[in-house]
Structure formats: C-alpha cells, structure tokens
C-alpha cells in the first residue's frame, strides 16, 4: 500500500502538474480555473466552497460569483483534479498523476486532518464489486473517519 504520492513542493510546480493533467485529458485551464486551483494549493487543507470564494474575492476584481465557483469546482471534480469530501462539504486537490482512481481519504474526527491513501488491491476489489453489481465507478470517494496518531 502506498500512502503518499510524489507531491510538488511549490505552488508553481503544483499548478504546472495540474495544468498538465488537464491538458492530457483534453481540457483547458481557464483563468478562473487557474485562480481556483491556485487558491486551493495556497490554502492547503480541504476548504468549503465559501471559504474558497472568500479567499479568492479578497483580491479579485470583479468578485467571483458563487455559481461561477460551483461550476468551476464541478468541472475540476469531473476532470479528476479536485475531490469533494461529502461528510465535510469540502473540496481538496487530487495531486495523484493517475486518472480514474479510487480516492480513499482518512479524516480525523478530532482535528480534521485529512490524508489520502493509495491501495491498488482495495481499488481493484471495489471496482470488481461494483461491476458484479452492475455499476461502473466514475469518481469513487471513500471517507474513513477515525482519530489520527497525533490526537
């Protein structure tokens, strides 16, 4: 099981990596998409849409509307570079270079720390189980709640 992927060390490196992933998927990185991704990279931890909007609109003229942000987050989620954590109603970047993979996220119920783990055997098992039941997984996100080592 691999619990970490090669994570870029700077904001420009991270944005270049995400832009490259979008380009390889045949998608374009518009100015608004770039701004949203940059805010997410800078803020680091998963954030609600309104926290992202507040951060973006501190310096942005004209301000970004909530509907524009939600459309952008929806696009970035479909493109596989953003993951929505339903239990927290937050969004986080997916820095994994592979596309169409399982997102297994461990969430500490005490401090809120999130960590994505990568487990090929688990992903294969889930994909096979879905197929046996007539489903095709599109953007699977599994949230595992518990307490982290620090807490």
Give the pLDDT of residue 136: 87
The average pLDDT across 105-113 equals 92
pLDDT score of 134 more than 60: yes
pLDDT score of 149 more than 90: yes
Between 23 and 52, the higher pLDDT residue: 52
| Residue among 122, 124, 115 nearest 144 (CA) | 115
Looking at the structure, do residues 80 and 18 belong to the same domain, yes or no?
Answer: yes
CATH number at residue 35: 1.10.10.10
Does the residue 21 lie in any domain?
Answer: yes
Residue 66 CA to its chain's centroid (Å): 19
Residue 124's alpha-carbon distances to 19, 33, 35, in angstroms, are: 28, 31, 35
Domain that holds residue 78: 11-93
The backbone torsions φ and ψ at residue 34, rounded to the nearest 5 degrees and listed phi first, read -65, -45
């Amino acid at each position: 099981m691999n619990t970490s992927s090669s994570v870029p060390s700077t904001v420009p490196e991270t944005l270049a990596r995400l832009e490259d992933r979008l380009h390889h998927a045949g998608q374009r990185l518009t100015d608004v998409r770039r701004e949203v991704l940059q805010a997410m990279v800078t803020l680091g931890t998963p954030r609600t849409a309104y926290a992202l909007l507040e951060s973006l609109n501190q310096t942005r003229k004209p301000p970004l509307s909530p509907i524009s942000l939600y459309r952008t987050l929806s696009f970035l989620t479909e493109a596989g570079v953003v993951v929505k954590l339903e239990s927290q109603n937050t969004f986080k970047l997916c820095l994994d270079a592979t596309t169409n993979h399982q997102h297994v996220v461990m969430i500490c119920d005490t401090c809120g720390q999130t960590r994505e783990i990568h487990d090929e055997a688990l992903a294969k098992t889930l994909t096979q189980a879905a197929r046996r039941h007539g489903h095709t997984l599109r953007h699977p996100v599994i949230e595992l709640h518990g307490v982290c080592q620090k807490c």
